[in-house]
Amino acid sequence: MKNITLSLTIAFVLATLGALSARANDLDGLAGKWVAKGEAQGQTFKQVLEIKKNKFTFEIVRDGGQTALYAEGALKAEDIGPFKAAKFYNIQGGSSASDLQAVDDERTVIYSLGYNEMTVAVNFDKERSEPAQVTRYTKVAATTEAKTLVIDKIVMHKSPQSTEYFLCLDVTVGETTKRFNVPDKAYEKDGLTIATDLAIPNVSKDATCKFVMKLDDVAGDECAEEMDNRSAGSFAVTESGSQEYKPESQWRYTVYWHLK
């Protein structure tokens, strides 16, 4: 009897864990930004539904880009018989994201997922003033999140300058250029680590970073066009990395960076 009870308990636990896992996977499938086009009273608009984990935002946007309705709240996946359902609750809504009030309502919709498509049946959960309808959403391709590229340091393994020198570094990503230069700051000796902490905003992974490094033994001339030594280089941006450059036989250095 104990063995039977234990077996039933294990079966129940496994079934429950399986159901929870399936619901989590359902939320993973719903994650992302979904857009549907609509028309009412001769006017076209977009419905934009964005789901992140168990949270959602919903927006109706007119042709001119003006928000007509905005809502946000919580979301969970459910099974209703053979159908997959999403329950929207703790809803706040208004004319914009800055004008929200609590909505005393919950909405349950039936949905099915296809390749980058989601078909949703709305207003079937109870009698509502809006008519029941079926809407097809298309998933918007995810964009690479822009971060800040930080040029951490330069390790000057070998310098072409025989005595002390001054350094100027211009870094460019897209249309943005930032400069590292400490006026009257002299550097010397090989194997020197120069902390730069140069930040370039709005950089995506795999973007191309270009730079120009200039050296001169006279303070103030390192950023001019008549400097002693000039090295141009580039690298593909990664989460973190380093790359060595050897522009001259007596000049070798490594650039270190990371995204934050």
Residue-level pLDDT at 144: 60
Euclidean distance between CA atoms 155 and 182, whole angstroms: 16
Q: What is the pLDDT of residue 19?
A: 38
Q: Could you tell me the pTM of the whole model? A: 0.49
What pLDDT, on a 0 to 100 scale, did the predictor assign at position 14?
A: 38
DSSP string, 33-77: EEEEEEEETTEEEEEEEEEETTEEEEEEEETTS-EEEEEEEEEEE
Domains in the chain: ranges and CATH? 30-139 (2.40.128), 147-259 (2.60.40.150)
> pLDDT (tens digit, 9 = 90+) per residue, 7-17?
544 443 433 33
pLDDT (tens digit per residue) in 70-120: 999 999 988 888 899 999 999 999 988 878 899 999 999 999 998 889 999
Q: Give the model confidence (pLDDT) of 182-198 as tens digits.
A: 999 999 989 999 999 99
Question: What is d(CA 78, CA 133) in angstroms, rounded to the nearest whole number?
Answer: 20
- pLDDT at residue 7, rounded to an integer: 52
Once rounded to an integer, what is the mean pLDDT over residues 40-58? 89
Q: Quote the CA–CA distance of 197 and 187 in Å, as a whole number.
A: 17
**Collapsed DSSP state (helix, strand, coil) of residue 86:** strand
